[in-house]
Amino acid sequence: MSDVYDYPLRGFRFQVDFKEQMLTNESEGGEVVLCSGAFAECTGLEATMEPKTIKEGGRNWGAAQRMGIINFGTVVLKRGLTQTDDLWAWFNLVGEGAYAQRLNVSITMFDQSGKGIFSWTLLKAMPTKFKAPDLNAKNNEVAIEELHLVHEGMGRAAAAVKQL
């Protein structure tokens, strides 16, 4: 279902697939793509590790540094298109109290020829902001102005998908 569009959307450099983890054996894949979209911008792919300082008696040359908690930034997808209203439905579902409705999100970047370069995966993502475009009959606006996602982890992989 990731091939939602019949033609390549060259102005959109990011394909975003929203996947649900199924209750199956993880070696079988176990993910189902619920919705796909194309976005012009993606920001916030960041992870920050907070160092833990440990002061030891007899260690006069400085405190030992250890790994602390890792925090992930809010991912912001801007100027996007989808053919369904599934992203709004997901935001609305979470807003009405479906606190367990988390999805894995795959963000794939494409080069100018439409070839997938690499992909980021967000684990257990949840929408926190949905911004629709301003309505103006004179403009040719997009379907989603901004979608903000928080998540519990991320990873990077080589892309092996074609552009929408």
Task: Report the pLDDT value the prediction gives residue 86, as an integer from 0 to 100.
Answer: 85
Please indicate, yes or no, if residue 1 is contained in any of the structural domains.
Answer: no
Task: Report the pLDDT value the prediction gives residue 113, as an integer from 0 to 100.
Answer: 76
Give the total number of structural domains in the chain.
Answer: 1
Looking at residues 71-96, what average pLDDT do you find?
88
Taking the complete model, does pTM exceed 0.85, yes or no?
A: no
Q: Is the dihedral of CA 84, 86, 87, 89 positive or negative?
A: positive
Task: Report the pLDDT value the prediction gives residue 28, as an integer from 0 to 100.
Answer: 55
Q: What is the Cα–Cα distance from 10 to 164, expressed in whole angstroms?
A: 9
Residue 152 maps to which CATH number? 2.30.110
Q: What is the Cα–Cα distance from 136 to 1, expressed in whole angstroms?
A: 32
Q: Which of 2, 29, 6, 27 is nearest to 16 (CA)?
A: 2
Find the domain containing 113 and state its range. Answer: 14-158
Please indicate, yes or no, if residue 113 is contained in any of the structural domains.
Answer: yes
Quickly count: other Cβ atoms within 10 Å of residue 132's Cβ: 12
**Token pair 């475009």 is at which residue?**
133
Which of 42-56, 85-99, 100-114, 130-144 is the least confident region?
130-144
Please indicate, yes or no, if residue 9 is contained in any of the structural domains.
Answer: no
Question: Looking at per-residue confidence, does 114 or 74 come out higher?
Answer: 74
Please indicate, yes or no, if residue 3 is contained in any of the structural domains.
Answer: no
Q: Which residues of 134-146 are buried (b: 16+ CB within 10 A; e: fewer)?
A: eeeeeeeebbbeb
Q: How confident is the model over 16-67, as pLDDT tens digits?
A: 899 887 766 555 567 788 888 888 889 999 999 999 998 888 888 888 899 9
Task: Report the pLDDT value the prediction gives residue 139, as an integer from 0 to 100.
Answer: 62
The secondary element (H helix, E strand) that includes residue 15 is: strand 14-21
Please indicate, yes or no, if residue 4 is contained in any of the structural domains.
Answer: no
Q: Which residues of 48-70 are buried (b: 16+ CB within 10 A; e: fewer)?
A: eeeeeeeeeeeeeeeeeeeeeee
CB 141 within 8 A of CB 133: yes
Q: Could you tell me the pLDDT band of residue 4, with boundaries at 50, 70 and 90?
A: very low
Please indicate, yes or no, if residue 132 is contained in any of the structural domains.
Answer: yes
Q: What is the Cα–Cα distance from 16 to 4, expressed in whole angstroms?
A: 11
Please indicate, yes or no, if residue 52 is contained in any of the structural domains.
Answer: yes
Please indicate, yes or no, if residue 33 is contained in any of the structural domains.
Answer: yes
Question: Which backbone phi and psi does 58 adopt, to 5 degrees?
Answer: 85, -10
